[in-house]
Amino acid sequence: MEKIHNTLRDSPVARWTALILLALTMFFAYMFIDVLAPLSTQLETSLKWSPDTFGAVAGSEYFLNVFVAFLIFAGIILDRIGVRRSAILSGILMVIGASIKLYGISDHFNAGGFGYDFFNSFWTGFPASAKVACMGFAIFGCGVEMAGITVSKGIVKWFAGKELALAMGLEMAIARLGVFSVFRLSPYLAEQGGITLSVGVGTLLLLIGLLSFSVYFFFDKKLDSQTDSLRTASDPEEEFKVSDLKAIFTSKTFMVVAGLCVLFYSAIFPFQKFATGMLESRLGMTTVEAGNLFSYFPIGAMILTPFLGWFIDHKGKAATMLFAGSLLVIICHLIFAITPVENFTFAVALGAIILLGISFSLVPAALWPSVPKLVDNKVLGSAYSIIFWIQNIGLMLTPILIGWSLKVSNPGVAERILAGEDIKYNYTVPMLIFAAFGVAALALAFYLKVLDKKKGYGLESPNIRK
Ligand SMILES: C[C@H](NC(=O)[C@@H](N)CCCCN)C(=O)O
Comparing 65-74, 228-237, 302-311, the range with the smallest average pLDDT is 228-237
pLDDT, mean of residues 275-301? 85
- The arithmetic mean of pLDDT across residues 249-261, rounded, is 94
In angstroms, what is the span from residue 180 Cα to ligand 1's centroid?
A: 15
User: Phi then psi for 113, rounded to 5 degrees?
Assistant: -65, 180
Ligand 1 proximity of 391 Cβ (cutoff 6 Å): yes
Tens of pLDDT, residues 156-186 = 999 998 999 999 999 999 999 998 888 888 8
Mean pLDDT of the chain: 91
Q: Is the CB of 175 under 6 A from ligand 1?
A: yes
Cα first-last separation, the chain? 16
The arithmetic mean of pLDDT across residues 238-259, rounded, is 84
Pocket test for ligand 1, best of 65, 363, 388 (most atoms within 8 A of CB): 388
165 lines ligand 1 (CB under 6 A): no
State yes or no: pLDDT of 235 exceeds 80.
Answer: no
Domains of the chain, with CATH numbers?
15-228 (1.20.1250.20), 245-455 (1.20.1250.20)
Distance 237 CA to ligand 1 centre (A): 30
Q: How many CB atoms lie within 10 A of CB 180?
A: 19
Atom of ligand 1 nearest to the CA of 388: 7
Residue 233 has pLDDT above 80, yes or no: no
Query: Contact at 8 Å (CB) between 132 and 109?
Result: yes
Kindly report the pTM of this predicted structure.
0.87
Report the amino acid identity of residue 251: S
CA dihedral 140, 142, 144, 147 (to 10 degrees): -140
Render pLDDT for 41-96 as a digit per residue (tens, 0 to 9): 778 788 988 877 887 888 899 999 999 999 999 999 999 999 999 999 999 999 99
Q: Which of the pair, 92 or 466, is modelled with greater confidence?
A: 92
pLDDT at 234: 58
Tell me the C-alpha distance between 397 and 87, whole Å.
Answer: 28
Q: Is the CB of 386 under 6 A from ligand 1?
A: no
For ligand 1, say whether the CB of 172 is within 6 Å of any of its atoms. yes
1 pLDDT tier (thresholds 50, 70, 90): very low
